[in-house]
Amino acid sequence: MQRTYQYRLYPNQEQQDALDVIMRQSCLLYNEALEHRQHVYKHTGQSVSFPAQWERFREDRKARGEDFGLLNATSVQQLLRRLDKTFAAFFRRLKQGDKPGFPRFKPAQRFRSVEYRYGDGVRFKGDKLYLQHVGDIGIRLHRSVPGGCLKHVVLSRKAGNRWFVSFQGDDGEVTPEPKSGIAIGVDMGLMSLLAFSDGTLIDNPRWLRRALRRLRHAQRTLARKTRFSSRWWQCKRRVEALYWKIANQRRDFFHRITHRMTNEFALIAVENISPKFMLANKHLSLSASDASWAMFRSMLDYKAERAGCIVIEVDAQHTSQACSGCGRIKKKRLSQRWHSCTCGCQLDRDVNAAVNVLKRARCGPTVANAA
């Protein structure tokens, strides 16, 4: 299974300066490669191939020491491949008749990661991480690195000046015992974060709501400062740090929930809500992005696969409108929190939806595949 493990790096000042130079040089190379492609496209309408670009920048890397001297050959290749993919996507969308934006230049502030191959300019050296042209950097191994992950290495800067390294790789097939036990339906609610068909409601924790309030306040303050002034930068770093913290808290929270769910249940039924639909609907968009469904789903999926638990997607249509007792459609407005039906069914709105989701998973065609 493909996995990524991320660790915090603790470079000293000198190493930080060297890392900054690597980022700046990578950014420069990316932008120059982009310019090269733009130039060729303008004059011939053709795309430049990856090998042609590599050929060109391999020479440049040698000849222009002060511009590209700290760049690793593999990193440059990865960088050019990244650009190649961006262009492939651009041309694909052009063909489809879309109007895609031409790939844009990246400002240095937004250039945040460089890729390596393990053993080529980056490797473990005792309890430090050796990086070519930088030295032995302190790393906090909060968990051990699985052997299969030591292939693809990404060096990145986040939230102001925090450095991270992540290892990506395949750690082999896992074939867990299939589980027997409880099946549960989950509704991704609007008011509560998650509702289970057994009546459990899980809300965004209070500390997260408090942190979001703090973030909003910090953003307001930032908006009132003169752009690029020293106070503005001060404030901007504060906002970034808050964002980072909240993202971490939310990820941690989702890890705990999905871990508990995949341990406890044998079958989990969820709605097939596409983020596109949610974001297109103005009324839903805030809570949708806020609750980060995509993150929840991807965590649920990979944890379920490891735990031998089955996740079934069902059609989301009318799950909140239909009565889970008798199946009649009972129109409710978004503000209506309680489901009550003439058949005697009395439930929280989201729990009612969760029961419907579970029902669909049990009688839908997907259940055959699952079994």
Give whichever of 52 and 345 is closer to Zn ion, judged by the CB atom. Answer: 345
Kindly state whether residue 208 participates in binding Zn ion, applying the rule CB under 5 A: no
Give whichever of 150 and 195 is closer to Zn ion, judged by the CB atom. Answer: 195
CB distance 269 to 186 below 8 Å:
yes
Cα(338)–Cα(347) distance, rounded to whole angstroms? 6
Kindly state whether residue 343 participates in binding Zn ion, applying the rule CB under 5 A: yes
Residue 307: partners with Cβ closer than 8 Å, 6 or more residues away: 176, 179, 262, 263
Kindly state whether residue 345 participates in binding Zn ion, applying the rule CB under 5 A: yes
* Angle subtended by helix axes 293-307 and 230-264, to nearest 10: 40
Kindly state whether residue 88 participates in binding Zn ion, applying the rule CB under 5 A: no
Cα(204)–Cα(182) distance, rounded to whole angstroms? 24
Give whichever of 250 and 330 is closer to Zn ion, judged by the CB atom. Answer: 330
Q: Which of 108, 61, 46, 57 is nearest to 80 (CA)?
A: 57
Per DSSP, 101 falls in state P
Kindly state whether residue 341 participates in binding Zn ion, applying the rule CB under 5 A: yes
Give whichever of 308 and 325 is closer to Zn ion, judged by the CB atom. Answer: 325
Binding characters for Zn ion, 299-338, by CB under 5 A (x = yes): ------------------------x-xx------------
Min. distance of Cβ 317 from Zn ion in angstroms?
A: 18
Min. distance of Cβ 345 from Zn ion in angstroms?
A: 4
Kindly state whether residue 346 participates in binding Zn ion, applying the rule CB under 5 A: no
Helix (H) / strand (E) containing 184: strand 183-187
Binding characters for Zn ion, 248-267, by CB under 5 A (x = yes): --------------------
Cα(53)–Cα(318) distance, rounded to whole angstroms? 52
The footprint of Zn ion on this chain (CB under 5 A) covers a number of residues equal to 6
CB distance 71 to 133 below 8 Å:
no
Min. distance of Cβ 347 from Zn ion in angstroms?
A: 10
Q: Which residues in this chain contact Zn ion in the complex, by CB under 5 A?
A: 323, 325-326, 341, 343, 345
